[in-house]
């Protein structure tokens, strides 16, 4: 019969640490070889078995810090000496070794975390070493398309070379390359050919820049009745809806009576070009824009080829397009520019004041608010006026009602509005 084992409990010795590595698969034999352990505890006369034990382990720029599972852990470890039947039970503390980034002591020996980029790399290394599958997937998705500092510098230098001083997209928005002006408030806007420094309203958006010389020559023989309008002819045009009522009103009110000399010819030219612009807007915006030039020519019918080519170059084709027969396309930005051309030409026809915006919104089949925004982008003043209109009520009795009209004028100094609605 084997000798009985004598059990001896010794509670005076300090607690023995039991290390449990979290997120790591390390056995006892390899732990002592792979990790550098340091412990701290006072073993003097005043030491207590309940004093927490701090154990640290370091490997590959990562610290393993002990985290006691409980301050009063009642574990006992049995130790049996070889050749004896005595089993000594001593107190033990279970410590969870949690991986963390290197502390200041380790940074002095391994200074790799002195910048945010390096700290991010250390966190990524920590996830790669001890993270779960989900954490690794998140890390890989974030870092898959990240650019290095060298790549970012290359992109920045390329963009800096491509951007030249004063090459704002709106500094010259005209098709023929006229200067777009450099007045505060006009910067950053797509405008027709302009001279915002002009001292008179006629020179702000000059007619020579809006209607090119070849277009002038082509329009010279168009609409001969505009030069000598007759009242009977104007009345017939109203009944046939041949032209916009605004065009007929200007011919009847100004061209027939007061306009003379060069101003008269300039206003007649503006009315001719406005009539063609309205036809083009109806074809390109209200209806479906033809994809080929030949189809556009058939749709516009009597419009001269030079005028059609001017419309294509200004509104439908990018000047950088080098293809021989590009497809016609009207972008939102060019559609906005087309509305600006229509309003500026109409302002030339009505002497830059009291242009009825409601009539143009109806003719263009465009919301009045959008047309008002275009007028404000040109620097125009928008005002409301109320007039009384005669009408018959349901019983056939004559009556009057108030009608609100929206009028725009081009006055100096120009008034531009920011996106928040403040005037400049």
Domain presence at residue 37: yes
Residue at 38 is within a domain: yes
Q: Is the pLDDT of residue 104 over 60?
A: no
Q: Which domain range does residue 362 map to? A: 201-409
Boundary of a domain, candidates 68, 100, 129? 129
Contact 378, 344 (CB under 8 A): yes
Q: In this structure, is residue 95 part of a structural domain?
A: yes
Kindly state whether residue 107 falls inside one of the protein's structural domains.
yes
Given a contact cutoff of 8 angstroms between Cβ atoms, the answer to whether 401 and 172 are in contact is no
Q: Are residues 268 and 374 in the same domain?
A: yes
Residues 88 and 228 occupy one common structural domain: no
Domain final residue, candidates 97, 129, 161:
129
Q: pLDDT tens, 154-170? A: 767 777 666 544 433 33
pTM above 0.85, yes or no: no
Question: Which of 101, 129, 157 is at the close of a domain?
Answer: 129
In a domain, 187, yes or no: no
The pLDDT of residue 198 is above 60: yes
Same domain, 234 and 89: no
Beta-carbon contacts of 154 under 8 Å, excluding residues fewer than 6 positions away, are none
Residue 414 lies in a domain: no
Q: CA 213, 217, 223: angle at the middle one, nearest 5?
A: 130
208 and 402 in contact (C-beta within 8 Å)? no
pLDDT band with cut points at 50, 70 and 90 for residue 357: very high
Based on the fold, state whether residues 274 and 402 are members of the same structural domain: yes
Measure the CA–CA gap between 358 and 336, rounded to whole angstroms: 17
Residue 180 lies in a domain: no
pLDDT greater at residue 385 or residue 179? 385
- Are 236 and 94 within one domain? no
Provide the number of structural domains found in the chain.
2
Q: Which of these ranges, 108-122, 242-256, 295-309, has the smallest mean pLDDT?
A: 108-122
Long-range contacts from 216-220, C-beta under 8 angstroms, 24+ separation: 216/269, 217/306, 218/304, 218/305, 218/306, 218/307, 219/269, 219/272, 219/273, 219/276, 219/304, 219/307
For residues 283-295, average pLDDT: 87
Helix (H) or strand (E) holding 337: helix 332-349
């Amino acid at each position: 019969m084997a000798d009985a084992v004598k059990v001896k409990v010794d509670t005076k010795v300090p607690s023995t640490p039991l290390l449990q590595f979290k997120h790591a698969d390390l056995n006892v034999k390899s732990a002592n070889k792979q990790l550098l352990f340091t412990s701290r505890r006072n073993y003097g006369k005043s030491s207590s078995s309940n004093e927490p034990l701090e154990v640290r382990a370091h490997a590959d720029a990562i610290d393993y810090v002990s985290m006691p599972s409980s301050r009063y852990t009642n574990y006992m470890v049995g130790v049996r000496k070889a050749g004896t039947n005595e089993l000594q039970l001593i107190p033990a503390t279970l410590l969870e070794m949690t991986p963390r980034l290197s502390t200041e002591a380790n940074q002095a020996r391994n200074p790799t975390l002195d910048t945010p980029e390096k700290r991010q790399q250390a966190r990524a290394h920590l996830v790669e070493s001890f993270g779960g599958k989900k954490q690794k997937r998140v890390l890989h998705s974030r870092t898959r398309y990240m650019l290095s500092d060298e790549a970012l510098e290359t992109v920045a230098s390329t963009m800096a070379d491509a951007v030249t001083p004063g090459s704002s997209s709106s500094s010259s928005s005209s098709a023929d390359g006229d200067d777009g002006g450099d007045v505060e408030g006009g910067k950053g806007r797509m405008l027709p050919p302009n001279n915002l420094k002009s001292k008179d309203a006629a020179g702000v958006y000059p007619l020579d820049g809006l209607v090119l010389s070849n277009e002038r020559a082509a329009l010279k023989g168009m609409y001969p009745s505009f030069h000598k309008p007759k009242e009977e002819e104007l009345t017939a045009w109203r009944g046939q809806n041949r032209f916009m009522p605004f065009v007929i009103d200007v011919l009847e009110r100004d061209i027939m009576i007061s306009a003379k000399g060069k101003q008269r010819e300039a206003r007649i030219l503006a009315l001719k070009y406005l009539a063609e612009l309205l036809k083009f807007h109806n074809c390109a915006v209200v209806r479906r824009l033809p994809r080929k030039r030949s189809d556009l020519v058939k749709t516009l019918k009597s419009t001269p080829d030079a005028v059609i080519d001017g419309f294509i170059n200004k509104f439908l084709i990018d000047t950088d397009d080098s293809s021989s027969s590009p497809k016609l396309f009207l972008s939102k930005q060019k559609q906005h520019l087309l509305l600006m051309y229509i309003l500026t030409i109409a302002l030339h026809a009505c002497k830059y004041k009291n242009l009825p915006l409601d009539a143009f919104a109806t003719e263009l089949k465009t919301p009045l608010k959008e047309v008002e925004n275009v007028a404000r982008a040109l620097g125009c003043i928008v005002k409301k006026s109320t007039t009384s209109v005669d009408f018959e009520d349901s019983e056939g009795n004559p009556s009057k009602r108030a009608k609100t009209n929206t009028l725009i004028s081009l006055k100096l100094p120009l008034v531009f509005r920011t996106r928040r609605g403040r005037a400049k």
